[in-house]
Structure formats: C-alpha cells, structure tokens
Structure 1
C-alpha cells in the first residue's frame, strides 16, 4: 500500500509555474477598463486617480498583442479567429465612436495584425510582403494603437527567444511614447503630464516581467466573455456618464 501511494503521488503532474493566458486576459481587460474610464470621466476624476488608472491602462495592449500572437499560433482556424475579431470590431465601433473616439477601435487593429501574421507566414516573396506590411501599417494610423501595433505583433512573432521578443515588443511603446512623454513632463511637471508618462513607462514596462512569467498554458477559456466585454464596458461607462452626470460628450483623448 505504501509503495502504491508513492507511485500515485509521483505520477501526479507538477503544477506549472507562472501565468496561463487566463490571468493575463483578466489583467488586460482590467487595465483597459481603467484606461477607458480615464478618458470618459476625464473631467470628473482627481489627477491622482487619473495617474493610477493610466498606469494600469498601460498593461493592456502589450498583453493583447502577445495573446494575439499566441492565439494565432495555436488556433485551429485563422479564418474563424479573424471572423470573430472583425465581428466584434464592428459591434464595438458603435459605443467606441459614441463615447471614446472617432478612430477605429483596437479590435480592427488586432484584425489587421492577424492578417499580417498570416501574410508573413504565407507570402513567399519577401519584398512583396514588406511592401504590403508598410502600406497596411500606414493605414492603421486611423486605428487605436495604429502604426505601433503591427510592429509589436510582428516582433513577437518573428523573434524566437521568448524573453527577447517580449522585451523588444514592449520597448517600442516605451521608447516612442514614454520618452517623449517624459520629456514633456520634465518641461511641464503637471499631474496630467505625469499620467500620460506613466501609461508607457510604468504600465507597458510592467508587462515585461508578467509576460516573461507566461507558462504557455491556456487556463480557463471564456473567450466569448472577453470578446463581448470590450463593447459592453465602453457602452456601460459612456451611458453611465450620460445618464448620471448628464454629459453625453465624447471622451477627452489627450
């Protein structure tokens, strides 16, 4: 009996260290909610609260970009994956356009990035691919996280070493957004400028150790919840501001 118990215990798989995709998704949507709340309730939140929420908001897109690449690598159908992104992008554009901004929402950006990943793996003529990449990336200027997003996603896909691909991808928003924001903060040290600096410098930087801890596991799925949450939380935040505060103006976006 003692020998059997020992064998059974040895046969149990050891729990994987680090994070599965599920808690990373939770962190991403928590940061996204904080970020959108900042913009929608800009005139009603104390500057200190804006700083804290913006810092958390910086977690969102680097995680979303990382999970898009992981989803692309493991999906059974890129076509169905793309169809889901495009469908919810179209749905989300209504509350996004009413309450946040007139640009295209980030799900459109992720859809374009997914198409570019597929093109990278299937276009044999490298020159044609890079021309396509440059043109499509330029078009994302009309989308949330445009220009940067395709570069970050392709970096995550092309660089093989896990730690390097995470760091290089996150350094793009840190360098292009964080350093100019830091210079502006040094010239004019206000809490508003601090909030914009914390988004890339604190939030995006924090994603590096978080994504390094990813263990490759999927965790709980709840994919429909995460898709539906994007348009739903924007609608709730926007409608609450209108109904409770009588303010139906579109968000302040910087």
Structure 2
C-alpha cells in the first residue's frame, strides 16, 4: 500500500516527459557537437522516448475503442511527418535513408495486431521477421518492434514489465556496443553502451514506480492530439532553424 503513494504520474504526464526528452535528443542530433558532454547527455536521455511510447502503444491497443482508427491515425501522421523529418535531419549520417519514428510505430502496431490473431505461430514469426526487417529503415530501428514484443509478453504484469525493461536495456546496450567498438577500445565501448541504458532505466522507474495507470482528467482531447501534432511541428521548426544557421 505504501507503494501506491508515489504513483503520482498519469499516462499523459509521462508522455509529456517523453516528448521533452525526444526534443532534447533531436537538438543534440541536429545542433550539438557529437561527443560533447551536453550533446551526449541530451542524446542518452532521449532513449527514454522510444521505449516509453512503445509501452503506451501496447497499452493503448488494449484499451482503444477502435483499432482501425488508432492505426489510420498513426499512418496519417507518419505521412505528415516525413517531410519535416527529412527537413530536420537532411545530411545527418544517422538518419540517411530512414523514415520517421511514427512509421516505426505503425510497424509496432502491426506487431501487436498480429499477436492478437489466431494465425499459425510459424506464419506470425514470418510476419514478425518481415516487420523487423522494415524497421531497419525507420528511426528507432529494430529496437521498437523488439520492445513491442517484450511488452506484449509482459501483458500488464508488473513483474514481467520489470523483466521486459531489463531486456530492453540489454538490447539497447548491445545494439550500441558494436558501433562504439569500431571507433574506441572495447572497455570504453562497454562503458558507453551501459551509459546509454540510462534513458531506458528512467522510463522503467517512471512506469514501474510512478505510473498510476490513469489518464489526465481534463484536457484529454488536447493531450491526445498534442502528441501527434507536436512531432511534425517541432521537426519543421528545428529543420528551419538548421537551414537558417547553416
């Protein structure tokens, strides 16, 4: 019962945190010097966003009134956001030939939808593999669908969610280790990979210890659309600023 007293954050509050950390990550990627203390801090804290948004995507699929409307809303804003995404990150090696993160959330939605069907396991595995392949061409890469599978496995269990977060941190560290190892000694690559887990760990703390499972009581419509609209709008603004100062 004592633990219930610290569950002060609703779903929308945590999403606002995720939006802010995403903004910091994008500022780092576009404007800050790679390897600088501020740039790396903003980049690492930005890892809070992907795992958090995937967690709420899985939860949202469970509670939404219309799965089709949810999916088409994602598709709509994936299309709307692509030009701003390219505008913001044009010339960045990290984002070359990539589609925006809402495209990846569409793939994650498909992962969830497939998991709810009664198709043969072999067919589902083939479809998962196809979606995983497509995710390599999107921002967040294969981590997003893998996070989705982890939270599907957790299925609302707090204990399993904790385990899912541990696996999510390991997945992120492993995926970051190999690029690091190409440019630095192995020991430094391991340390840098472990530091990168901080954003995911912060998400775990918010979800497992502070999330109360509720939505905001007032302004639900505003919050719902804010999270969609903010993404292309902030990318457009960052892209225009990048062009003006370049």
TM-score using structure 1 length: 0.80
**Alignment pair present for 1:187 and 2:185:** yes
Q: Which segments of 5 or more consecutive residues in structure 1 lack a partner in the other structure?
A: 1-13, 248-254
| Contact 1:62-1:169 at 8 Å conserved across structures | no
1:64 is aligned to 53
Equivalent of residue 153 in structure 2, options 149, 158, 169:
158
Query: Are 2:172 and 1:208 aligned?
Result: no
| Structure 2 counterpart of 1:3 | none
> What CA distance in whole angstroms lies between the structure 2 residues aligned with 1:58 and 1:67?
15
State the 1:172 CA deviation.
4.0
Specify whether residues 50 and 112 from structure 1 end up closer, same or farther in structure 2 by C-alpha distance, changes over 3 A only.
same
C-alpha distance in 1 between matches for 2:160 and 2:15: 19
Q: What's the offset of the Cα at 1:165? A: 3.7
Of 196-205 and 70-79, more deviation after overlay is shown by 196-205
SS in 1 for 2:215: coil
- What residue in structure 1 maps to residue 9 of structure 2? 19
Aligned partners of 2:130 and 2:77: how far apart in 1?
24
Q: Secondary structure of the equivalent of 1:142?
A: coil
Per-residue CA deviation, residues 83-105 of structure 1 (Å, 9 max, x unaligned), is 11010011110011122233011
Specify whether residues 153 and 135 from structure 1 end up closer, same or farther in structure 2 by C-alpha distance, changes over 3 A only: same
1:111-161 Cα offsets, whole Å, 9 max, x none, are 111122111112332221111111221121111122221121122122235
What TM-score, normalized by structure 2, do the two folds share? 0.82
- Name 1:228's counterpart in structure 2: 229
RMSD, matched Cα? 2.8
Aligned length: 229
**More off after superposition, 194-203 vs 172-181:** 194-203
Shift of 1:50: 0.9
Q: Is the 8 A contact 1:21 1:218 kept in 2?
A: yes
Q: Which runs of 5+ in 2 are unaligned?
A: 90-94
For residues 184-210 of structure 1, what are the alpha-carbon distances to aligned partners after superposition, in whole Å with 9 as ceiling and x for unaligned? 4972898xx799647632111111111
1:242 corresponding residue in structure 2: 243
Corresponding position of 1:89: 78
